[in-house]
Amino acid sequence: MMQAPVTVLQTNTRRDTGKKAQYGNILAAKAVADIVRTTLGPRAMLKMLLDANGGIVLTNDGNAILREIDVSHPAAKSIIELSRTQDEAVGDGTTSVIILAGEMLAAAEPFLERNLHPTVIIRAYMRALEDALRLVDAAAFPIDVQDRDQMLKIVNSCIGTKFTQRLGNLVADLALDAVQLVKVDVPGGTPEIDLKKWAKVEKIPGASLEDSRVLRGVMFEKDVVVPGRMRRKIANPRILLLDCPLEYKKGENQTNVELAKEEDWAALLKLEEDWVARTCAQIAALKPDLVITEKGLSDLAAHYLTKAGISAIRRLRKTDNNRIARAAGATIVSRPDEATERDIGTGAGLFEVRKIGDEFWTFIVDCEDPKACSIVLRGASKDVLNEVERNLHDAMGVARNVVLDPRLVPGGGAVEMAVSHGLAELSTAGGVLGNEQAAYRAVGAALEVIPRTLASNCGANVIRTISKLRAAHAEKSSSFGINGNTGKVEDMRELGVWEPYEVKAQTLKTAVEAATLLLRIDDIVSGLKKRG
């Protein structure tokens, strides 16, 4: 008897296998790289995008561009994911990593055509990566993170390609201040710098960019509960932070109370009132000037607090509360009856509610040693502020990386060229043999895409410039790169174009690993739809 064929995959899907899958992936990676190619370097072009909500995004940040565009090829998606990971890991090099990964994959194409097995190519790539990292290591040199001028120069040179270039030191200053503020020294170890958690950017349109600053403390968009009667400005406030409601506790789930007699109502209300009165009395006994809770606060509680001369703010975000706790030296309390003097924050110099535009903002500032901060960005419009925020994010990434690992490598494609040259030398030195050798060399050649793109983006004669650069490196001038503004081959150490070691190493690692991952794929199933 004939058996019906077993259907393993749905038939409405698209399936590419073997070489076809690999070529498809390479094509997709190249396409994504082509999108961001023109945004690399100081002469970067901007992209204008329409986001999903119909808003306009103007940017030359590779990661921001790719976040907005909608792609369907799985490999393109994975490449885009790559740029996000890079952004999260080191906060910079997002364009470079995409361009490099695309080039590494493109470089594998001829080997696939010659029927070299992908695992051989992958082996060669990984080996080249190991050597490349060693070469980057050799090109790195240490810096002094205490030297503010030098740090400003470094941050500026790393983010100099972005939109805020004309603002001088503004963004770099903000970034360095923020990193200094949230840095916690670990004795005998690398400092802890968690910008995501402890530094928050608040964007307020309606003033000039020069008015942006890093607060020694925290701000958030809230007003006191009873604006007319609670104090809105207190010097050296005693702050109590709560993450529980100051109203009679409702059940977690929907709870219903059924009452048979009318008097029971009165009893129930009395119970609630008593609880609130008792709790407020306990709070007042600690003599705080300001009580902030993440939850609700009833009118009755507001009344008691006002009577005790305490200002109160309700429904604050958990993350903001955490920052206040750190900045003012307070502990967030879950049960007001258990709060003690030790939980009160006294580290802030000033609590004030100010009106900016139409909104009220609470400031808890002038902290002695905040370790958490808000960064106020002011600017003419939302679009400008969004782009400045992206730049600031990059700048903080650079500042953080350099503080954590105070080593730099020359930028402008210099280190890529040096590594490329080094790999070429190593490949002939006899270490790499057989059919791996060509693929190993291909990694080195692919690295040239960075200086090539920089040259091409400022309109230089690419072939002539690159051969000149190769010649310079052959003569051991390993810090020579492309001046991204003029397209000339120059010494990057003299020009002052640097990049953090950490970023370069990570870029290389991510690009090669992504390329090898995609090469390992020999079957792509796409178009899978949920059955409705």
Known catalytic residues are: 61, 94-95, 394
CB of 36 to ligand ADP, least distance (A): 8
Q: Give the residue with the Cβ less far from ligand ADP, 250 or 464.
A: 464
Residue 339 has phi, psi (to 5 degrees) of -65, 140
Q: What DSSP character marks residue 86? A: H
Q: Are 336 and 279 in contact (CB under 8 A)?
A: yes
Q: Give the residue with the Cβ less far from ligand ADP, 22 or 483.
A: 483
Contact set for ligand ADP, span 259-298 (CB under 6 A)? none
Is 412 a residue that touches ligand ADP (CB under 6 A)?
A: yes
Is 175 a residue that touches ligand ADP (CB under 6 A)?
A: no
The footprint of ligand ADP on this chain (CB under 6 A) covers a number of residues equal to 24
Q: Give the residue with the Cβ less far from ligand ADP, 183 or 393.
A: 393
Selected from 102, 160, 370, 422, the binder of ligand ADP by CB under 6 A is 160
Selected from 245, 411, 487, 500, the binder of ligand ADP by CB under 6 A is 411
Q: Considering only 38-46, 147-155, 261-269, 520-528, which stretch makes contact with ligand ADP by CB under 6 A?
A: 38-46
Selected from 78, 94, 306, 510, the binder of ligand ADP by CB under 6 A is 94
Alpha-carbon separation of residue 230 from 111, 311, 360 (angstroms)? 74, 5, 14
| C-beta atoms surrounding 190 within 10 Å | 10
| 57 bridge partner residues | 49
| 360 bridge partner residues | 355
Q: How far apart are CA 282 and CA 338, in angstroms?
A: 9
Q: Considering only 34-42, 199-207, 263-271, 276-284, which stretch makes contact with ligand ADP by CB under 6 A?
A: 34-42
Q: How far apart are CA 288 and CA 140, in angstroms?
A: 52
What is the per-residue binding string for ligand ADP in 449-478, x denoting contact by CB under 6 A? -x---x------------------------
- Collapsing DSSP to helix, strand or coil, 284 comes out as helix
SS (H, E, C) 175-199: HHHHHHHHCECCCCCCCECCHHHHE
β-pair type (407-410, 141-142): antiparallel
Selected from 40, 89, 388, 469, the binder of ligand ADP by CB under 6 A is 40
Selected from 66, 132, 447, 497, the binder of ligand ADP by CB under 6 A is 497
CB of 101 to ligand ADP, least distance (A): 12
Contact set for ligand ADP, span 52-81 (CB under 6 A)? 62
CB of 41 to ligand ADP, least distance (A): 4
Is 164 a residue that touches ligand ADP (CB under 6 A)?
A: no
CB of 91 to ligand ADP, least distance (A): 9
Q: How far apart are CA 330 and CA 318, in angstroms?
A: 14
Is 161 a residue that touches ligand ADP (CB under 6 A)?
A: yes
Q: How far apart are CA 429 and CA 171, in angstroms?
A: 46
Q: Give the residue with the Cβ less far from ligand ADP, 312 or 482.
A: 482
Tokens of 480: 């020579």
Q: How far apart are CA 136 and CA 143, in angstroms?
A: 16
β-pair type (373-379, 199-205): parallel
Ramachandran assignment for 70, one of left (phi > 0), alpha (psi -120 to 50 degrees), beta (any other): beta
Q: Which residues contact 527 (CB under 8 A, 6 or more apart)?
A: 12, 13, 14
Selected from 24, 42, 91, 336, the binder of ligand ADP by CB under 6 A is 42
Is 499 a residue that touches ligand ADP (CB under 6 A)?
A: yes
Is 102 a residue that touches ligand ADP (CB under 6 A)?
A: no
Could you tell me the end-to-end alpha-carbon distance of the chain, in angstroms, rounded to an integer?
35
CB of 130 to ligand ADP, least distance (A): 22
